[in-house]
Chain A
Amino acid sequence: AQSVAQPEDQVNVAEGNPLTVKCTYSVSGNPYLFWYVQYPNRGLQFLLKYITGDNLVKGSYGFEAEFNKSQTSFHLKKPSALVSDSALYFCAVRDGNTGKLIFGQGTTLQVKP
Chain B
Amino acid sequence: SAVISQKPSRDICQRGTSLTIQCQVDSQVTMMFWYRQQPGQSLTLIATANQGSEATYESGFVIDKFPISRPNLTFSTLTVSNMSPEDSSIYLCSVETGREQFFGPGTRLTVL
> Which residues of chain A have a CB within 8 Å of any CB of chain B?
32, 34, 36, 41-46, 49, 51, 90, 94, 98-106
In the bound assembly, the distance between CA atoms of A83 and B31 in angstroms comes to 36
List, in ascending order, chain B residues with CB within 8 A of A45's CB: 103
A99-B31, A100-B33 are contacts. A105–B48 as well, Cβ < 8 Å?
A: no
Contact in complex: A90, B43 (CB < 8 Å): yes
Contact in complex: A101, B101 (CB < 8 Å): yes
Q: Is B100 an interface residue (CB 8 A)?
A: yes
Q: Is B25 an interface residue (CB 8 A)?
A: no
Per-residue CB proximity of B39-56 to A under 8 Å, as 1/0? 001111100100000001
Majority SS at the chain B contact face = strand
**B44 and chain A: residue at smallest CB distance:** A103
List, in ascending order, chain B residues with CB within 8 A of A46's CB: 100-103
List, in ascending order, chain A residues with CB within 8 A of B67's CB: none
Per-residue CB proximity of B17-59 to A under 8 Å, as 1/0? 0000000000000010100000001111100100000001000
- The listed residue with most B CB atoms (<10 A of its CB), out of A34, A44, A51, A104, is A44
Contact in complex: A98, B48 (CB < 8 Å): yes
Q: Which of A41, A43, A102, A105 contacts B92 (CB 8 A)?
A: A43
Per-residue CB proximity of B54-76 to A under 8 Å, as 1/0? 00100000000000000000000
9 cross-chain pairs, A with B, having the tightest CB-CB distances, nearest first:
A43-B105, A44-B103, A103-B43, A43-B106, A103-B42, A43-B103, A105-B42, A106-B42, A100-B45
Other 11 A-B pairs with CB < 8 A, given A36-B103, A101-B94, A101-B101: A43-B104, A43-B105, A45-B103, A46-B100, A46-B103, A49-B100, A99-B31, A99-B33, A99-B48, A100-B45, A102-B45
**A94 and chain B: residue at smallest CB distance:** B99
List, in ascending order, chain B residues with CB within 8 A of A102's CB: 45
Q: Shortest distance in angstroms between A1's beta carbon and chain B's nearest beta carbon?
A: 11
Q: Shortest distance in angstroms between B25's beta carbon and chain A's nearest beta carbon?
A: 13
